Chains A and B, each alone.
Chain A
Amino acid sequence: MMNCASFENRLTEMLDGQTDDAALDELRRHVEECPACNGAATLVELAALPARERDPLDAPPQGYWDGFNASVAQRLDQGLADRRPAANWRRYAAAAALVVVLFAGWFLRGWIDPGARTEQPPVTEGTEPTMGDWSRLL
């Protein structure tokens, strides 16, 4: 009698499309004799069928295929038409990105060119610095 590991390997091969009547009988015998593999009886019967018959689906409604290509074409044309506004959005996005870059450049110019910073007024001798000026004396 084949062991459970061999059973699983053989069952996988059968489900994989390697049909073999002798092997199928062996799998059926193992399922009957082995309590651990008994639950796999459904899989063994599944393996006995050609792939397309294992879980057949209902055919689509009659005449469905007659209009399928036309529906795809219509959807495609609609989709292409819908893309035009998207192209405009891309232009708006590019313009917005340009504005952000220009603003960032203006904001950062002080770091690149310190001279461009606003000059601080010098502390005049003999006058008491206000609380706000102490920081400049440190």
Chain B
Amino acid sequence: MEAFLSKRVQAPDETVLAARFRAGDRGAFDEIVTLHRGAVYSVARRLLRSHEDADEAAQVAFVRAWSSRARFRGDAQLKTWLTRIVLNVSKSMLSARRVEHDLPDESGWDVSGGADPDVRLDRVRLRHELRRAVGGLPPRQREVVMLKVYEGLTHREVAEILELSAGTVKAHLHQAVSNLKRVLAAGRRMERA
């Protein structure tokens, strides 16, 4: 569970850490990996589904971050910069392997939320339905939903990661909700028919 806990750990002074990192300090880089590996892995896992792929993407992202450390601008947060890198790495992996990422699989699903088997089954069904609907969204809307709704990042963070304005992020989210509502309603109608 450290993956999820480490995301909430704040560096004492990330500016100093980032400066050391930019100067090529491997110790600082190691600290950064420890601080942000949970968040980086989580984004990769959400996109790639399997642990093995997420592990690969997370490691490649950190290696890439080290190689391009000179390009890290202090005005962005390390977390958002690293998230942008892992998002790009994951997307490249998806297109290279032609993974059907819009079709949800059973891996990575936490279905332990209820003792009642019916409730658990219903929860699985709803998540399946929702993942399928999210998977069918246009790429930008899907990324916004993933980062905003599931990862809980702020508008500013999502905007930095996707290199959009905060207003555009909001517009994408609104459009995504509208599309999801329509798709889910159509699914319900088909179920009843």
Contacts of A9 in B (CB 8 A): 174
Give the docked Cα–Cα distance between A12 and B131 (Å): 17
Interface size, B (range): 35 or more
Decide: A43 near B184, CB < 8 A? Known: A52-B4, A76-B63.
yes
User: Per DSSP, are chain B's interface residues mostly helix, strand or loop, or mixed?
Assistant: helix
User: Per DSSP, are chain A's interface residues mostly helix, strand or loop, or mixed?
Assistant: helix
Chain A residue at smallest Cβ distance from B182: A39
A57-B45, A60-B3 known; 8 new pairs, CB 8 Å cut-off, are A12-B177, A37-B185, A39-B183, A39-B184, A57-B42, A57-B46, A58-B51, A72-B63
Give the docked Cα–Cα distance between A37 and B170 (Å): 21
Contacts of B177 in A (CB 8 A): 8, 11-12, 15, 43
Query: Is B96 an interface position by the 8 A CB rule?
Result: no
Decide: A51 near B152, CB < 8 A? Known: A8-B178, A58-B107.
yes
Query: Is A54 an interface position by the 8 A CB rule?
Result: yes
Interface size, A (range): 35 or more
Contacts of B37 in A (CB 8 A): 65, 68-69
